[in-house]
Amino acid sequence: MKKTINAGIGGRSFTIDEDAYNRLDAYLRSFKSRLKDVPVTEVMDDLEARIAELFTEKVGSGARVVDIALVEEVVNQLGMPDGSPVPGETGTGSAGAAGAKSAAAVPHKLFRDPSGARVAGVCSGLAHYFDLDVSLIRILMLVAIFAATAGFWIYIVLWIVVPKAMTPAQQCEMRGIVPSAENMAKYALFNAKNR
């Protein structure tokens, strides 16, 4: 019989067995020690939120216990911030390779892009969402505004309704790439430089 621990991960409560808890704790400590030149708190909060999201997908809302196999799966999926292999990894290959394989399968989410914003980031966010050049979207929006159509009001509504991609995980989702540890660390560094 194994001991279980109630752990708060990413603002959610999970029942996790002792081996899985120790493995996850070791991964988080190792991950944190490899963060360089990035806001550590922001990346760690995003990482824990992503881990909680993955646990919820796998475990569901039932009382199932998070075991070592699930922790290994999540840890290998997320990887390390520098792209290096995960310490104590039981699978073969790195998380970077797994992230590259599944990058095409990640759907884009609509956010305003503060990094490519001229006014509010609406056009840049639409360009990422539809995978088009931002110049084309800006030209189409200007034509719609100057043609005395509803373009101005569409822009204003999108500005109000569409959320801004503030976290590294949202930056990844906006671009349609896997929110892995390496990718989130890259956008956390980018966000820190552009504040």
Q: How far apart, in whole angstroms, are the C-alpha atoms of residue 165 and residue 115? A: 9
Q: Is the pLDDT of residue 188 over 80?
A: no
Domains of the chain, by residue range, sit at 4-102, 114-161
What pLDDT is attached to residue 104? 44
CATH number of 4-102: 1.10.8
Query: pLDDT tens-digit profile of 73-82?
Result: 888 777 776 6
Give 65's DSSP letter.
P
Place of tokens 């100057």: 146
Which residues is 12 bridged to in the sheet? Answer: 9
| Nearest of 57, 73, 56, 76 to residue 13 by alpha carbon | 56
Q: How confident is the model at residue 84 (pLDDT cuts 50, 70, 90)?
A: low
- With beta carbons less than 8 A apart as the criterion, state whether 71 and 20 touch: yes
For Cα atoms 139, 143, 148, give the angle at the middle one, nearest 5 degrees. Answer: 155
% of residues, the chain, pLDDT over 70: 74
Gap between the Cα atoms of 121 and 115, Å rounded: 8
Quick one: pLDDT at residue 1? 63
pLDDT value of position 189: 55
Name which residue leads in pLDDT, 84 or 91. 84
Q: Does the pLDDT of residue 92 top 70, yes or no?
A: no
The DSSP call for residue 5 is E
